[in-house]
Homo-oligomer: A and B are copies of this chain.
Amino acid sequence: MSYAKLEQRFTQLHHFAHLGAICGWDRATMMPDGGNPARSAALAELSVLMHQRLTGPEMADWFAAAAEESLSASQQISLGEMRRQWQQATVLPEALVQAKSLAGSRCEHAWREQRKQNDWQGFLGNFREVVALSREEAQIRAAATGLRPYDSLLDLYEPGMNSARLDTLFGDLKSWLPNLIQQVTERQQHETLIQPQGPFPTAKQAELGKQVMQLLGFDFNRGRQDVSVHPFCGGVPSDVRITTRYDEADFTQSLMGIIHETGHARYEQGLPLDRLALPVGQARSMGIHESQSLFFEMQMARHPAFMARLSPLVSQTFGAQAALSSDNLARLYTRVEPGFIRVDADEVTYPTHVMLRYEVEQKLIEGALEAKDIPELWNLRMTDYLGLSTLGNDRNGCMQDIHWTDGSFGYFPSYTLGAMYAAQFAAALQRELGDFTTLLGSAEGLAQVFGWLQRHIWHPASSLGTDALVQAATGEALNAVHFRRHLEQRYLG
């Protein structure tokens, strides 16, 4: 039976991906520098192998034959998800994949120095090639899927999303967010913030991080937490590896980073054990993944009721000081400040960074904007949204992110989709189970929250399409209403 052969092949790919995930984690956390050339070669060999196994000529035959086989409803869905992965991998000619990989590596590598030097012209030299190849990729994917070119890239990260819907969602945001930012920053001008006084020893921060992970239900029998330069959630669902970095002068960022990664981790740990090897049992999309980290970080952890639980743990760890009171921590963790850098942004200004990138990359891919004109548009929008000029400051403008350097166009919207999903999930959950103010105050309440996420998000995994998942969990399609209400309540309420 061809369907069985496909399941077998995807299970094999899942095992290979396991080896790659662990060796990738090791590279970021454990490997000494000298190990890198051999590790890169080994991981590249694995990529080639996996690509071959995913795109081998037998696959087309199996998919064709499986389509004629008598399958259960859940097998039909599983087949669809396998086909999705297969089509995405097979549609591009090998030569384009290689050219894009080379151009992306070159551009990314040079960018690391060019960004420091604020060297936009130098960057542009490599970047034009990346854009040209990404446009070619988008054309080919569009022809195969019937989607618009940019949408065919977006679909790699967020299946079912498209720019028409994004224009509506982001159009909604744009209509009220700049004004909200203005109101919040004015209001916060008069707040008194007390900065915690360090040092905060790494060992104690690590211990606190583990306590909070435990509180948030991270399963240490199926995962660990370590240190890396860039925090991430990696490993495999049966052994999730999250990382952080510590700053002894400031514990707040690392602690919130751990909570964010714990959200990603619980999604992975909550995926259905019996279907992990197949696409249908894996995470639904980048936006849904981000919704889980933001649910933990933004909806739960920055809520006053959670701050009231966090404050005593922090004080026990570092010794009491006024700055560690529940109220002051809450103020620190909800401070809104327009800034140049996306990754440092608060939850209120963050979407402006994403909307700006979406507009740029959408136009870039569809030919309405040329690479050389990015700084001008960037400056325009940063001035519109946040009142900040990036003229002559490309280092902190359009050169700040790694995403475009290797041609990962279509990824950025996931961040703000995640924030909107998270707010919509939180609203639905509270309608059903009661307010966070009560839920977050007790172990039973937290268990109810996790149970809801488990039932509606983690366990369904990819057995539902993104829209169907959101509809089933919240009773409505994705919209910006709940995100707006969340921000207004937290920041103006």
**Given the complex of chains A and B, what is the CA–CA distance between A236 and B36 in angstroms?**
11
Check A42 against B18 for contact (C-beta < 8 Å).
yes
Q: Which positions 1-60 of chain A face chain B at CB distance < 8 Å?
A: 12, 15-16, 18-20, 22-23, 26, 30-35, 37-39, 41-46, 49
**Given the complex of chains A and B, what is the CA–CA distance between A20 and B26 in angstroms?**
13
Check A239 against B31 for contact (C-beta < 8 Å).
yes
**Given the complex of chains A and B, what is the CA–CA distance between A492 and B453 in angstroms?**
73
A223 within 8 A of B: yes
Q: Which positions 220-248 of chain A face chain B at CB distance < 8 Å?
A: 220-224, 236-239
Check B221 against A34 for contact (C-beta < 8 Å).
yes
Partner of A38, one of B30, B49, B219, B239: B239
**Given the complex of chains A and B, what is the CA–CA distance between A237 and B35 in angstroms?**
9
Closest Cβ neighbor of A222 among chain B residues? B34
Given A22-B23, A30-B224, A32-B224, check contact A46 B239 (CB 8 Å): no
**Given the complex of chains A and B, what is the CA–CA distance between A414 and B43 in angstroms?**
33
**Given the complex of chains A and B, what is the CA–CA distance between A209 and B219 in angstroms?**
32
Q: Binding site of A, secondary structure by majority: helix, strand, loop or mixed?
A: helix
Check A22 against B26 for contact (C-beta < 8 Å).
yes
Check A41 against B22 for contact (C-beta < 8 Å).
no
Closest Cβ neighbor of A223 among chain B residues? B32
Contact with B along A199-231 (1 / 0, CB 8 A): 000000000000000000001111110000000
Closest Cβ neighbor of A235 among chain B residues? B35
Check A15 against B239 for contact (C-beta < 8 Å).
no
**Given the complex of chains A and B, what is the CA–CA distance between A276 and B20 in angstroms?**
21
Partner of A16, one of B12, B35, B45: B45
Q: How many monomers of this protein are in the complex?
A: 2
Check A239 against B39 for contact (C-beta < 8 Å).
yes
**Given the complex of chains A and B, what is the CA–CA distance between A35 and B236 in angstroms?**
9
Check A37 against B221 for contact (C-beta < 8 Å).
no
Partner of A37, one of B33, B41, B238: B238
Given A12-B45, A45-B12, check contact A18 B32 (CB 8 Å): no
Partner of A15, one of B45, B223, B238: B45
**Given the complex of chains A and B, what is the CA–CA distance between A181 and B298 in angstroms?**
71
Given A18-B38, A42-B15, A42-B18, check contact A33 B221 (CB 8 Å): yes
Check A34 against B219 for contact (C-beta < 8 Å).
yes
Return A477 CB to nearest CB of chain B, in Å.
36
Return A8 CB to nearest CB of chain B, in Å.
11
Closest Cβ neighbor of A238 among chain B residues? B38
Return A56 CB to nearest CB of chain B, in Å.
14
What are the residues of chain B within 8 A of A220 when measuring CB–CB? 32
Return A51 CB to nearest CB of chain B, in Å.
14
What are the residues of chain B within 8 A of A39 when measuring CB–CB? 18, 22, 238-239
Check A19 against B46 for contact (C-beta < 8 Å).
yes
Check B22 against A238 for contact (C-beta < 8 Å).
no
Return A126 CB to nearest CB of chain B, in Å.
28
Partner of A26, one of B26, B221, B237: B26
Question: Knowing that A15-B46, A23-B23, A49-B49 are A-B contacts, what are 15 other residue pairs whose CB atoms are under 8 Å apart, sorted by A's residue number?
Answer: A19-B20, A19-B46, A22-B26, A30-B30, A30-B224, A31-B239, A32-B221, A32-B223, A32-B224, A34-B219, A34-B239, A37-B238, A38-B236, A38-B237, A38-B238
Q: Which residues of A approach B to under 8 Å, CB–CB? A: 12, 15-16, 18-20, 22-23, 26, 30-35, 37-39, 41-46, 49, 219-224, 236-239, 276
**21 sample A-B contacts, Cβ–Cβ < 8 Å, listed by A number:** A15-B41, A15-B42, A16-B42, A18-B23, A18-B41, A19-B19, A19-B20, A19-B23, A19-B42, A23-B23, A30-B224, A32-B222, A32-B239, A34-B221, A34-B222, A34-B239, A35-B222, A37-B238, A38-B236, A38-B239, A39-B239
